[in-house]
Structure 1
Amino acid sequence: MRTYSACFLLLGLVACTAATTGVRERTEQTRAAEPLTFIQDDYERALAEAKAKGVPLFVHALASGCVTCRLMKAHVLSSPSLGRHADRFVWLEVTTDLSQNAAFLGKYPIESSPTLYVLDPREEKALLRFHDTLDEAELEQLLDDGERAYKGSATGLEALLAQGDALYAQNRVVEAAKVLSEVLATAPADWSHRGRVVLTLLGALAETYDAPGMKACATKALEVLPGTPRSLAWTHGARRGLTCALSIFPNEPEATGLEVLQGALEEKLIEAMSLPTVELTADDRSRLIQIQIWAREAAKDEPGSRKALSEWMTYLEAEAAKAPTPSARALLDSHRSHVAIRLKTPERAIPALMQSEKEFPRDSTAPLRLAQLYQAQGRLEDAIAATDRALVVAQGPRRVAVMGLRALIFKERNDTATASRTLRDALAYAESLPDVQRPMCSVSSLKRELAKLEAPPQVAPSKPLQVAPPK
């Protein structure tokens, strides 16, 4: 009797397990066809949910005017195929301009956008940080690395990587660079995570923000790229390495041999733009072209720079023409306005920006860029009106940028009093922002411009009266 009872219990357990498994499989299949759900701008809620569920917290930090962030969100993070990872993390999106996110930024500084974080909610500790775009496969690798670090289950090479990732995530960049260099030296040549680790290492070297760090970043890029699989991460590594080389001033001691280094890295950048196995978004390609133009300018190749600018504009116009949605087309607006101004043909970008402003009235990007285009045309009243519209919706660092531009337009209109007042308002607003959201570079520029505007006029020294000698 007991045997039959045990059998019935066993059958019941098997049936129950089978039923549960079936529900789980159906749930996973359903989630695999749905995009991830991100909590919006509420770190405390996301933190509490992650603690309750016993999972790490994934954060996408973006600036409101960041084109690359929007493309990352639209093309990767919104992919329905990522739904199968929904239960592995709690998902949070943080817009860095918003005042309610100042506390988050105080804990986890953002060096550039977009930035991805994996956080341990138990200790509010950063486990992994990554800033750039990546494709779905690279994102899934990053999720694996972050989850493994959270569980403390890494061994060997993976444990060493977790150590380097944590140091970088916590802004201990010098220590991180040493550990990540060891990771790459230890890893097998065909290691699938090599591209992501190369980018993290280059970021750690560059974030010393000095010439030795930039030289180390550029040199390391040239060293490790040949042994790195060609991928989206590889293209970003080529761009980042050349950017580091171009950031060194010619009068620095590190400038020795710089021309050769820049030339070698520019060759890598050109290769990055023509890799048949890597699909680049228009934004990714635009950023590569932008750095190539910077390299041509550094080489004093004016014809080459002008040619690249012209080709860049043609490319952007073609991409905009075939964009599948107004949103996809509008994401190219910042690039188009920048190139149009550089080419001294602002009229080529104005119609597209006007259309975007109509379609996205709550976005400050279009009126801000229109103000710049109108200023380039000498249409100063139209430029001021465009800044009026931008200020209705702009906040945080973006609002400081709009006010600074507005002051320059008033200065160009020879309205020094209004320009001065606008600069003072911009500085007052910037000072009202939390420290972590205050754009210090912009503040310094505004102060310099205000000092020039309010400096007393220089009076030329009078010449002594020349008295003709008596005849």
Structure 2
Amino acid sequence: MTSLLVALVLSASSGPRFIEDDYAKALKTAKQQKKLLFVDAWAPWCHTCVAMKEQVFSRDSFKAFEKDVVFASVDTEKTRSAAFLDKFPVDVWPTLLFIDPQKETVVLKWLGSADEAQMQALLEAARGGDGVVREADDALAAGNSGIAAEKYEAAVQQGDLKARTLLSMLAAMTLAKKYEPCAKTVVEQLPGFKLAQERVAALTWGLSCAIELPEGKTRTQQLDLLVSQSLKAVELPGVLPDDTSGLYEVLVQERSAAKDSEGAKVLATKWLQFLDAEAAKAKSPGERAVFDAHRVLAALESGQAAKMVEPLKLSEKELPRDYNPPARLALVYRELGQLDDALAATDRALSKCKEGPRKLRIYETRASILAKKGDEKGRVKVLNEALTYAKKLPKSQVSAKRIAMLEAQLKPAP
């Protein structure tokens, strides 16, 4: 979804007013009003980001938080966002930041979505004083996920079992690749997650971690419990649809990791049915397109790629400036073997994607299609174009590792 369309949707909504892509203005406003600065660091390709804008931040109930914070959003794909990203690196989308405007320091960093109840808990935490949780929050904000995980664990051992603390700990553990304590925490603390939204979030972190554990009795036992509870959780009401979809995704990944292709296909079919039903409820093209990314994944996993051709064509027609529908359509056509159609879709996507690192993914999709066509010369040409483009991006938007990945794809097969 384009930033223009997002702005139009938000201006017509009853939610809070966001200062869009102007961090300096937002910071100045927060200083003047003596409020915390809340920044939604997002990207147009991120389905959770767009879901937050379309389905959460547009709610009247979020407007009430304007008495406490100045709302701002930063599209991390825009070149003008590079300076912001130099100060506040983002590698998980969305990332929600609470910034003290006087010191220009992050007082709380939250990874992923948040509903009203979670927003209130985050606000209270951002205003919190000293203590081990504050130290953990500071470490996570500074990108020290391992230290953050240890400090959150210390807080939990001291009796802080608030959902906000536990979920921040799970995020830090996942980033630090501390998969064993992450999965164990969810198994032990799951009964304490009373709100459906928080329960789904905990299970998503926990199941993702358990999948990464080494084979053995502990892994099997934890996966059995987490899968069983997750299958129940995807049926819970009162959860953001995108978060339920995220849990479905991890359930499918678990079956794939177990090499149960049929089980993965069955789950992916249920996932797609859920998403189709949610998309049918959408009140606007933008809200419906929120589900496109996961609908494509579910369709591919369930062997129903053809089902997504018409929905994506509709999204492309109704959101003509958005590069995401044709980029996703290229993936579907590639799966169906309609390679000329897939190439044409990447042409349209590249023409609409004017800036940002996401353009690299479209280049890579195009290269993979040319490889399927047996056009090695074309594949290499496209990857060289991608590499040239990547090297011109601001360093805060493309890592050395990402450039190395492109260079590796240019090496001849052994």
Fold shared, TM-score > 0.5 on shorter chain: yes
Q: CA deviation at 1:51?
A: 2.1
* Pairing 1:282–2:272 present: no
Corresponding residue for residue 231 of structure 1: 196
- Cα distance in 2 for partners of 1:240, 1:440 equals 27
Relative distance call for 1:265 and 1:217 in structure 2 (3 A) is: same
RMSD: 2.1
Corresponding residue for residue 143 of structure 2: 171
* Pairing 1:199–2:167 present: yes
Corresponding residue for residue 62 of structure 1: 42
Post-superposition Cα deviations, 1:248-302, rounded to whole Å, max 9, x if no partner, equal: 465xxxx673222222222232232233xx4123322221111111112222333
- Cα distance in 2 for partners of 1:58, 1:407 equals 39
- Cα distance in 1 for partners of 2:265, 2:147 equals 42
TM (norm. structure 2) is 0.90
Post-superposition Cα deviations, 1:217-254, rounded to whole Å, max 9, x if no partner, equal: 1122222223332331221111101101213465xxxx
- Cα distance in 1 for partners of 2:328, 2:92 equals 21
Q: What is the aligned counterpart of 1:267 among 210, 213, 228?
A: 228
Corresponding residue for residue 75 of structure 2: 95
TM (norm. structure 1) is 0.80
Q: CA deviation at 1:401?
A: 0.4
Post-superposition Cα deviations, 1:66-112, rounded to whole Å, max 9, x if no partner, equal: 11111112222222222232132222101111111111112212131
Counterparts of residues 37-56 of structure 1 (less than 5 Å): 37-56=17-36
Post-superposition Cα deviations, 1:35-69, rounded to whole Å, max 9, x if no partner, equal: 21111111122122222222221110111101111
Post-superposition Cα deviations, 1:190-237, rounded to whole Å, max 9, x if no partner, equal: xxxx1221110011112114xxx1222112222222333233122111
SS at match of 2:396: helix
* Pairing 1:450–2:410 present: yes
SS at match of 2:200: helix
Contact residue 181 and residue 201 of structure 1 kept, 8 A: yes
Q: CA deviation at 1:407?
A: 1.1
**Which contiguous aligned blocks of 4+ residues in structure 1 show a shift greater than 3 angstroms?**
185-189, 439-445
Corresponding residue for residue 409 of structure 1: 369
- Segment of structure 1 superposing worse, 226-235 or 96-105: 226-235
SS at match of 1:130: strand
- Cα distance in 1 for partners of 2:230, 2:205 equals 9
SS at match of 1:334: helix
Q: CA deviation at 1:439?
A: 5.3
Give the residue type in structure 2 aligned to 1:177: A
Counterparts of residues 185-196 of structure 1 (less than 5 Å): 185-187=157-159, 194-196=162-164
Give the residue type in structure 1 aligned to 2:141: A
- Cα distance in 2 for partners of 1:425, 1:396 equals 14
- Cα distance in 2 for partners of 1:339, 1:228 equals 28
Corresponding residue for residue 261 of structure 2: 302
Tell which structure's C-alpha radius of gyration is larger.
1
- Cα distance in 2 for partners of 1:347, 1:302 equals 19
SS at match of 2:41: strand
Corresponding residue for residue 312 of structure 2: 353
Corresponding residue for residue 329 of structure 2: 370
- Cα distance in 1 for partners of 2:180, 2:244 equals 24
* Pairing 1:430–2:390 present: yes
Counterparts of residues 62-141 of structure 1 (less than 5 Å): 62-141=42-121
- Cα distance in 2 for partners of 1:341, 1:300 equals 16
Give the residue type in structure 1 aligned to 2:89: P
Contact residue 375 and residue 383 of structure 1 kept, 8 A: yes
Q: Unmatched 5+ residue regions in structure 2?
A: 1-12
Q: CA deviation at 1:413?
A: 1.5
User: Greater relative contact order (Cα 8 A, min sep 6): structure 1 or 2?
Assistant: 2
Contact residue 54 and residue 286 of structure 2 kept, 8 A: no
Contact residue 134 and residue 233 of structure 1 kept, 8 A: no
Relative distance call for 1:335 and 1:441 in structure 2 (3 A) is: farther
- Cα distance in 2 for partners of 1:54, 1:407 equals 50
- Cα distance in 1 for partners of 2:50, 2:247 equals 18
Corresponding residue for residue 292 of structure 1: 251
- Cα distance in 2 for partners of 1:432, 1:185 equals 47
- Cα distance in 2 for partners of 1:184, 1:260 equals 23
Contact residue 404 and residue 423 of structure 1 kept, 8 A: yes
SS at match of 1:436: coil
Across the two proteins, how many residue pairs are aligned to each other?
A: 401
Contact residue 401 and residue 442 of structure 1 kept, 8 A: no
* Pairing 1:258–2:226 present: no
* Pairing 1:242–2:214 present: no
Relative distance call for 1:225 and 1:300 in structure 2 (3 A) is: same
Corresponding residue for residue 326 of structure 1: 285
SS at match of 1:128: strand
Relative distance call for 1:309 and 1:228 in structure 2 (3 A) is: closer
- Cα distance in 1 for partners of 2:146, 2:246 equals 27
SS at match of 1:257: helix
Contact residue 63 and residue 96 of structure 1 kept, 8 A: yes
Q: CA deviation at 1:418?
A: 1.5
Relative distance call for 1:131 and 1:368 in structure 2 (3 A) is: same
* Pairing 1:317–2:290 present: no
Contact residue 397 and residue 439 of structure 1 kept, 8 A: no
- Cα distance in 2 for partners of 1:37, 1:396 equals 25
Contact residue 305 and residue 335 of structure 2 kept, 8 A: yes
SS at match of 2:102: coil
Corresponding residue for residue 133 of structure 2: 161
Q: Unmatched 5+ residue regions in structure 1?
A: 1-32, 456-471
Give the residue type in structure 2 aligned to 1:272: A
Q: CA deviation at 1:363?
A: 1.0
Post-superposition Cα deviations, 1:307-351, rounded to whole Å, max 9, x if no partner, equal: 112222222223323333222222111112222222333221100
Q: CA deviation at 1:440?
A: 5.4
- Cα distance in 1 for partners of 2:264, 2:389 equals 38
SS at match of 2:411: helix
Give the residue type in structure 2 aligned to 1:354: K
- Segment of structure 1 superposing worse, 386-395 or 337-346: 337-346
